[in-house]
Structure 1
Amino acid sequence: MRTHSIRMPALVLSAALVFSGTAAAADIPVYRYTVVHTFPHDPQAFTEGLFYDGGFLYESTGEYMGSGVRKVRLDTGKVVQQLDTPAGYFGEGIILTGNRLLQLTWRDGVGFIYDRKTFAPMGTFRYPGEGWALTRDAKHLYLSDGTPTLRVLDPDTLAQTGTIEVTADGVPLRMINELEWVKGEIFANVWQTDRIARIDPKTGHVTGWIDLGGLVDHSRMADPVDDVLNGIAYDAAHDRLFVTGKRWPSVFEIRLKR
């Protein structure tokens, strides 16, 4: 998603606002982290979507003059394959489904379909409202739009088949952003915070917070308001969890701890 100056001109979010009231209650466990490895990341990439597949990171970048999809070597950060999003569209989340790579756009209600191997355009699909992020399990796609509601999509037809209302101790969780399916849970960045919500897809309940405070020094970012945590990828075969942010110079492999 884009900057506060375009999306929400009267509001600069903080953890205190997003996690107000019982949404930050002490009975929801808070996990910290250990950095296992640090990998290079393009500091110009305004990361909107991220996932891991076959030894590579796949990334979607945003902004109207910089949106695209790319395949990136994890160890070097080298972009080995790249395609610009059609002009005039703000790129958002991405995911693979079958032989297709799907990319959302922010406010246009249109998604782009690319060939997963060649990135050749294959068509478009439509959805109402905004598009922020995508992830999937074996049977469904999940789409976030910044609201407390996750949409459930059919991976073949891309039609909406259901919704998940996300709450933390009964309070709707706003600003749900980048998504990743991890061991039966949905991990979700919460925009402009250093926290990831662990969401039970059956109930929509937040079962834990991952606090990534201190992972980077925000004061050293070129634009501390916008260059925020956003990007989660999971290597299921080797049980590796990766995180990054918009225009961050690094991708971090982390291990969670209490």
Structure 2
Amino acid sequence: MVMLLTSTTLAATGGSKSMPPNIEYQLISTRSHPNLAFTQGLIIDQRSFIESSGLYKQSFIQRYPINEDSSSPSTTKLLSKSDFAEGLASIGTQLWLITWQQGLARKLSKNTLKQEQLARYSGEGWGLSFDGRQLIMSDGSARLQFRAPDDFKLKGSLEVTLNNEPLNGLNELEVAHGLIWANVWFDSRIYAIEPSTGSVVAIIDLSSIIEREKKLHSFGLRKDSVANGIAYDPEADGLWITGKRWRKMYLIQPREWPIPKI
């Protein structure tokens, strides 16, 4: 299934200010969303998804193949009842999993999902990604934090701006094509962020995908069942996207990827 979707034209704000361009994309395929996860982090590892699902007393991590017809096994690990799982990032044979308000980052074995290291941080944890050198973390504000992949120590930060205004509510993160891609809490758009400046350089509007998803729910989407979850698929050169408690996951492919400055 391939469907061309054109992003909704966004109105300019602030008088002479102009919005970054919307990216047209194709809907390449879909698959079911296991366990209707309350998606916090979503990554791809060796043709499988690894996903963290939040909420107190309900948090878990699950691993399952991208291809629903695959014979590869799926696994689910329940987390401590005191954890509210948030963002997830892959570094080699390990994962970093952050928590919402506990200030805990857990390094897990990718194979067994058992904890191998514990780190602490100040403030809230929302999204997490890895650019090959450093971890990138969001905390619900407009600021991204950069952390060391070995011990999770803070190394720096960057404010994200849209038309020179702070873009608050940064949530799930992914790195693809040299840019940082971010969901924003209660927002139907994905924002492509230039890592050298923090400026939003392009936008993907998921409104049409969200409308498709709504039709799969008898009473529509719950208020907090927002779009959340971005995973770059190098084989398809596209982004898998989903949302909290969504029934489906959607593979979209931009018609043209924005080019980073560096």
Report 1:129-144 matches (<5 A): 129-144=123-138
Report SS of the residue matched to 1:216: helix
Q: Does 1:200 align with 2:198?
A: no
In structure 1, the partner of 2:181 is: 187
Any unmatched runs of 5+ in structure 1?
1-18
Q: Does 1:80 align with 2:74?
A: yes
Rounded to whole Å, the distance in 2 between the matches of 1:22 and 1:128 is 34
In structure 2, the partner of 1:120 is: 114
Report SS of the residue matched to 2:119: strand
Report SS of the residue matched to 1:210: strand
Report 1:104-253 matches (<5 A): 104-217=98-211, 218=214, 220=217, 223-253=221-251
Report SS of the residue matched to 1:215: helix
Rounded to whole Å, the distance in 1 between the matches of 2:16 and 2:55 is 31
Quick check: 1:186–1:199 contact (8 Å CA) kept in 2?
Answer: yes
| CA 195–97 in structure 1, closer or farther in 2 if over 3 Å, else same | same
Which segment is superposed worse, 210-219 or 118-127? Answer: 210-219
Which segment is superposed worse, 212-221 or 233-242? Answer: 212-221
Rounded to whole Å, the distance in 2 between the matches of 1:102 and 1:24 is 42
Normalised TM-score (structure 2): 0.85
Relative contact order: is structure 1 or structure 2 higher (C-alpha 8 Å, sep ≥ 6)? Answer: 1
Give the aligned residue type for 2:179.
E
Quick check: 2:238–2:254 contact (8 Å CA) kept in 1?
Answer: no
Report SS of the residue matched to 1:255: strand
Give the aligned residue type for 2:142.
P
Q: Does 1:36 align with 2:25?
A: no
- What displacement does 1:138 show? 1.5
Report SS of the residue matched to 2:74: strand
Rounded to whole Å, the distance in 2 between the matches of 1:241 and 1:66 is 27
- What displacement does 1:178 show? 0.3
Quick check: 1:64–1:87 contact (8 Å CA) kept in 2?
Answer: yes
| CA 192–173 in structure 1, closer or farther in 2 if over 3 Å, else same | same
Q: Deviations over 1:158-202 (max 9, x none)?
A: 111000110011100000010000110000001111100100011
Q: Does 1:55 align with 2:47?
A: yes
Give the aligned residue type for 2:203.
W
Give the aligned residue type for 1:197.
Y
| CA 21–112 in structure 1, closer or farther in 2 if over 3 Å, else same | same
Which segment is superposed worse, 31-40 or 55-64? Answer: 31-40
- What displacement does 1:106 show? 0.5
Give the aligned residue type for 2:205.
D
| CA 228–140 in structure 1, closer or farther in 2 if over 3 Å, else same | same
Normalised TM-score (structure 1): 0.86
Rounded to whole Å, the distance in 1 between the matches of 2:73 and 2:99 is 21
Tell me how large the CA RMSD over aligned residues is: 2.3
Identity of aligned residues (%): 34
Rounded to whole Å, the distance in 2 between the matches of 1:189 and 1:247 is 16
- What displacement does 1:20 show? 9.2
| CA 20–114 in structure 1, closer or farther in 2 if over 3 Å, else same | farther
Any unmatched runs of 5+ in structure 2?
1-10, 257-262
